[in-house]
Amino acid sequence: MASSYVFRNGKELLDRCKEHKMPIWEVVLNYEIQLSGKDKDYVFKMLGDRLTVMMEGIAATLDKPEMSPSKMAGKSAPIIQKVLKDWKKWENKLMMNEDAVKAMLGAIATGENNARMGVILAFPTAGAAGVLPGVIFGSRDKLKLTQDQMVKMMLTGAGIGIIVANTATLSGAAGGCQAEIGTATAMGAAALTEVRGGKPETCLHAASLSLKNMLGLVCDPIGGLVEVPCIKRNAFGAMYSFTGSDLALMGIESFVPFDEVVVALRSIGDMMSPKLRETALGGLAVSPTGLKVAKKMGLIQISTNPCSK
């Protein structure tokens, strides 16, 4: 019988890595091969095509910025792009370095592309689609990443996403924004750690450190649209990925193991009011500004929403 590459949680993922003497990305690759029946070339081609979608989405937003139909999104990416073009002017004014600003740009540009009905890769969801592209966009120049390395980052990130999906949820409607951008942040942290030479255990520490600081984050989109606060949260998620990865590579470990962090995510989501889980009935969605925008666009009728009872 062929060796199994299947895993359902972090412990089993580390067991597979040790058993097969493989990094996370390679275990996930073989997991996909085992489940789908496809070969390595097919999987790399498939993910390479999806990588192209991510990068072309960023480029499309930067080449031709435009506002979303709601007028809530579309201004931020051009501002950050201008800062990067004038980097010498801004270098000593900002605490973040150029790579971090690029990551924020990639994350926000992806979200703004989504808001104007552009093509994105839901990785793991549409609302959190900017985090991993931001991490890759921000690190590729400094690390001189090849396409294969970026595909391997996607595989590493997917491994983390598989664990969260199996144990908890990736849905904002079920678990709040912690389940969407929180998971994406953990995925980005692990991916960035492994591509820089981190061991599987170090990658899970990076994921834990990042995800712990997203626990409790509610999903409160104004008007029910994936724009405010979602898009800018992706930029913060990318920065959490950078921070978690750097801390883990320094040798900082998460006191709470990754599997326990994911269980905590699930339990917090279960305790969260439906008004804070993508229904646009709580938080920023019912702020005076949020209600004004929703009313103007006819986006939501709170009195007729069953979750408002």
Q: In DSSP terms, which residues pair with 277 in a beta bridge?
A: 219
Domain assignment present for residue 138? The answer is yes
Range of the domain at 151: 10-300
Answer yes or no: are the C-beta atoms of 265 and 182 closer than 8 Å: yes
**Does residue 37 come out as left (phi exceeding 0), alpha (psi in the -120 to 50 range) or beta?**
left
Domain assignment present for residue 110? The answer is yes
Q: What is the CATH number of the domain that holds 28?
A: 1.10.4100
pLDDT 10s per residue in the chain (309 long)? Answer: 368 999 999 999 999 999 999 999 999 999 999 999 999 999 999 999 999 999 999 999 999 999 999 999 999 999 999 999 999 999 999 999 999 999 999 999 999 999 999 999 999 999 999 999 999 999 999 999 999 999 999 999 999 999 999 999 999 999 999 999 999 999 999 999 999 999 999 999 999 999 999 999 999 999 999 999 999 999 999 999 999 999 999 999 999 999 999 999 999 999 999 999 999 999 999 999 999 999 988 876 655 555 555
Give the distance, in angstroms, between the CA of residue 157 and the centroid of all CA atoms in the same chain. Answer: 9
CB neighbours (10 Å) of residue 277?
22
End-to-end CA distance of the chain, in Å? 55
The domain total for the chain is 1
Domain assignment present for residue 305? The answer is no
Structure tokens at 217: 């984050």
CB neighbours (10 Å) of residue 233?
26
Domain assignment present for residue 156? The answer is yes
